[in-house]
Amino acid sequence: MIVLEESASSQTINFIPRQFVSGDSYNVTIVNETTNTEVYNQDTTAITEHLYHNQYSAVFPVKQDITYTITITGTEVVYKDKIFCTNQADVTSYSVNEGAFIFNDTDNEFITV
């Protein structure tokens, strides 16, 4: 899963394609899974090839706490994945309950008769 922020600046997606030919034109499509609407559709040759992965940078119109599907196609589908948009600072410890869940401390003492 790819994690992006809701931002007006360019963000980079790293991915490992099924097949790739440098310089070919590819179509990048992002679909909102909640509403099933297309939010991004761009033909590009700007996908760069690195040693073990490829990169694509653009300004993606994603909104916070929404899941998207990304599909990159050439003559056939070369990459498909999910995108989750969050503005939480530490993405590695993402919590859907951030700021909404109150932890109740208990001592777990049970009385048996």
Domains of the chain: which residue ranges?
Answer: 2-93
Task: Please give the pLDDT value at position 16.
Answer: 93
Q: Model pTM?
A: 0.76
Task: Please give the pLDDT value at position 112.
Answer: 73
What's the CATH code, domain 2-93? 2.60.40.1930
Alpha-carbon distance of 1 to 74, in angstroms, equals 21
Which of 50, 66, 44 minimizes the C-alpha distance to 14? 50
Task: Please give the pLDDT value at position 109.
Answer: 73
Which residues are 40's β-sheet partners? 30
Low-confidence spans in the chain with pLDDT less than 70? 90-106, 108
Alpha-carbon distance of 23 to 26, in angstroms, equals 9
Task: Please give the pLDDT value at position 97.
Answer: 61
